[in-house]
Structure 1
């Protein structure tokens, strides 16, 4: 059920042309705002490794993507940056993503759920492969990162990358739905 109403076409710039990321952002904004939406995908650099290997680098990639999208296309209502990453914990490798939603006032961060990657994929990543390429090799797929992703492959599409991102994007929208509770947050990443 939509929570907020604007009387104009809301413009959201997504810092990716990956349809999984674009659709997750579109669905999240559609669920939260009763507006006509214009989603503009744009290719920008994350400013981090192609395969972020820890929490901080992954979050920084999402922050950088949202900031670069804001630099690329000014005057939009919102900017969304999504960065997937992995992190090692007790010799197990976990996958997740950070999502940053920003407007002209502040930015909000949210993180997806985390899931463990199989040892075979972990070894391929440690040998220098990106997660999407490792998934494609192990599961004999092509371009799975623009489709169901690792989580979809591992759950037989019971949970897909888009669904995972959609939930986190909804969480990142919370401060914009409750602006009065977050007014002191005036930070914007450069």
Structure 2
């Protein structure tokens, strides 16, 4: 039987990373991956953990509102965070799902690893340019946010954006793999569709 997973983004990288994580973490080979274009409720380039996590939560909840019949709803939000004069790149992942058809909505959350951006990119981001555009400007790429991400060219292709997200997606799915354990309900945190 196919599992329906709604991904709150049309970005092909987020879709591929989610599919990989669902297959690895949950052992699901038959996945009906549906993408929905929903608002994050945060700026186009989120800054800081709080804003980035809020964007991922808003996306996952909006996907749940849009497609309530699914098994899982996934929000992925990339962001940057200031640290000791450096600007680090990271992302938050939120996965919502039910235990049984009438069970409560539970959530799993995880943050990716971080890496420092070079000053040439960081300065553009601090000036208001979205990270993907800044990366393209500095490194000469085209639409890297839909392919390798910033992490790809900076690691020489060792880690691309799919791999960068996939580990955190697997970790965010821990509650759905361990159904005999108790994890937080999503209701108190999310509380409604973002405006």
Which TM-score band applies after superposition, normalised by the shorter structure? over 0.9
Structure 1: 5+ residue runs without aligned partners? Answer: 1-7
Alignment pair present for 1:148 and 2:142 = no
Partner of 1:23: 16
Partner of 2:68: 74
Partner of 2:84: 90
Give the SS at the match of 1:181: coil
1:74 is displaced (CA, Å) by 1.6
Matched residues in 2 for 1:35 and 1:143: separation? 29
1:179 is displaced (CA, Å) by 2.1
Matched residues in 2 for 1:160 and 1:67: separation? 27
Aligned residues: 182
RMSD over aligned Cα atoms: 1.0
Question: In the alignment, which of 47, 55, 64 is matched to residue 58 of structure 2?
Answer: 64
Give the SS at the match of 1:102: strand
Give the SS at the match of 1:23: helix
Alignment pair present for 1:127 and 2:127 = yes
Matched residues in 2 for 1:130 and 1:186: separation? 33
1:35 is displaced (CA, Å) by 4.4
Alignment of 1:17-56 (within 5 A): 17-31=10-24, 32-56=26-50
Matched residues in 1 for 2:29 and 2:82: separation? 41
TM-score (norm 2): 0.91
TM-score (norm 1): 0.93
1:182 is displaced (CA, Å) by 2.0
Worse-superposed segment, 31-40 or 84-93: 31-40
Structure 2: 5+ residue runs without aligned partners? Answer: 99-104
1:103 is displaced (CA, Å) by 1.0
Alignment of 1:161-176 (within 5 A): 161-176=161-176
